[in-house]
Copies of this chain bind each other. A is one copy, B any other.
Amino acid sequence: MNTNEIRVFCPATIANISCGFDVLGVALASVGDEMVVRKVTEEGIRITKLEGQDLPMETLENVAGVAGLAFLEKSDYQGGFEIEIYKKIKAGSGIGSSAASSTGAVWGMNELLGKPFSTLQLIKFAMEGERLASGVAHADNVAPALFGGFTLVRSYDPLDVVTIHSPAELYATVIHPQIEIKTSDSRKILKTNITLQDGIKQWGNVGGLVAGLFKEDYDLIGRSLVDHIIEPVRSILIPGFDEVKAAAIEAGALGCGISGSGPSIFAFSKGPEIANKVAAAMKEVYEKIGLDYDIHVSKINIEGVREGR
């Protein structure tokens, strides 16, 4: 085994889970990027291969490169790293494409150096990749990509990430209509103020969702997957959102919402059969509309980024 090289699988993630805007995310088991991270004597980070997506390979323009540099800056290590990226997650899809690249890079580097950094520190490095991708160093995709399962970013100052229990039978269905929404645009349309009444509803649902996950109470999870604040504004940017959501619920989904800042739409279901039915129902909507899509049905990934493919 070559201990100067590691192959990494880094999962796709759903952030902004309904009521959990900016705080709740979850990792997917069957969708993710593959990367190879290699220790080299030459200093710095070089992206030596990038397949699957048309993205910049220059270190300072690539999220893995920027995250890697943030890592090197805090590290005593004198050498550098080469990174090969095999993108399986489409950029701009809303399921943590940039987070997967950033996270996979810094996790692989940390493994090769004998784990000098804690997971929380790795999140901070990967957040620099997020800053490059969206202008905001958010943690709600990189946290579940690193830890696996559901995570809560309780606070940014100081950074405080909480792992949440993931019920064994929970499945995600994610449909990605082939349109482009920039994260920065979808941030712009949000209101700066909300009513206290909407706030109370939202934190009631966050409490309900977290409790539902710990209690493995699927009905409670479903009842809590409500977003009174962000979804009514952002869903306007996603063609067919209301129809897809209605079809998913009709097919048995526990709940349905915008994945990240869109345009992907996620649904959670109990068990793979319902998750597949939900997929069929969601697909039908976009087939009627005539819009291309990708679709994924996936278990929750509970281990996070790992060695392997």
What residues of chain A have their CB less than 8 Å away from a CB belonging to chain B? 19-24, 152-155, 160, 162, 164-165, 190-196, 198-212, 214-215, 220, 223-224, 229
Task: Contact check, B194 vs A162: say whether CB atoms are below 8 A apart.
Answer: no
Known: A191-B196, A194-B196. A19 touches B203 (CB 8 A): yes
Task: Contact check, B22 vs A214: say whether CB atoms are below 8 A apart.
Answer: no
Question: With A and B bound together, what is the CA distance between A155 and B214 in angstroms?
Answer: 19
For A208, give its contact among B162, B205, B223 (CB under 8 Å).
B162
Task: Contact check, B195 vs A193: say whether CB atoms are below 8 A apart.
Answer: yes
Known: A153-B204, A207-B162. A195 touches B192 (CB 8 A): yes
Task: Contact check, A211 vs B208: say whether CB atoms are below 8 A apart.
Answer: no
Task: Contact check, A196 vs B229: say whether CB atoms are below 8 A apart.
Answer: yes
11 pairs of residues in contact across A and B, judged by CB atoms under 8 Å:
A23-B203, A23-B207, A152-B211, A154-B207, A154-B208, A190-B196, A192-B195, A194-B196, A199-B229, A206-B207, A214-B215
Question: With A and B bound together, what is the CA distance between A19 and B207 in angstroms?
Answer: 11
The closest CB in chain B to the CB of A199 belongs to B199
- Count the copies: 2
CB A220 to nearest CB in B, in angstroms, measures 6
CB A78 to nearest CB in B, in angstroms, measures 37
Question: With A and B bound together, what is the CA distance between A119 and B65 in angstroms?
Answer: 56
Known: A154-B207, A194-B193, A206-B207. A21 touches B200 (CB 8 A): yes
Known: A152-B207, A162-B207. A196 touches B193 (CB 8 A): yes
Task: Contact check, A223 vs B154: say whether CB atoms are below 8 A apart.
Answer: yes
CB A282 to nearest CB in B, in angstroms, measures 26
Question: With A and B bound together, what is the CA distance between A16 and B196 in angstroms?
Answer: 14
In the complex, chain B residues whose CB is within 8 Å of the CB of A193 = 193-196
Question: With A and B bound together, what is the CA distance between A193 and B206 in angstroms?
Answer: 19
The closest CB in chain B to the CB of A21 belongs to B200
CB A46 to nearest CB in B, in angstroms, measures 37
In the complex, chain B residues whose CB is within 8 Å of the CB of A206 = 203-204, 206-207, 210
The closest CB in chain B to the CB of A193 belongs to B193
Task: Contact check, B201 vs A155: say whether CB atoms are below 8 A apart.
Answer: yes
Task: Contact check, A154 vs B224: say whether CB atoms are below 8 A apart.
Answer: yes
In the complex, chain B residues whose CB is within 8 Å of the CB of A208 = 152, 154-155, 160, 162
Question: With A and B bound together, what is the CA distance between A203 and B154 in angstroms?
Answer: 8
In the complex, chain B residues whose CB is within 8 Å of the CB of A204 = 22-23, 152-155, 206
Interface centre among A191, A211, A224 (most CB of B within 10 A): A211
Known: A152-B211, A207-B152. A22 touches B200 (CB 8 A): yes
In the complex, chain B residues whose CB is within 8 Å of the CB of A160 = 208, 223
CB A231 to nearest CB in B, in angstroms, measures 14
Interface centre among A204, A206, A207 (most CB of B within 10 A): A207
CB A20 to nearest CB in B, in angstroms, measures 7
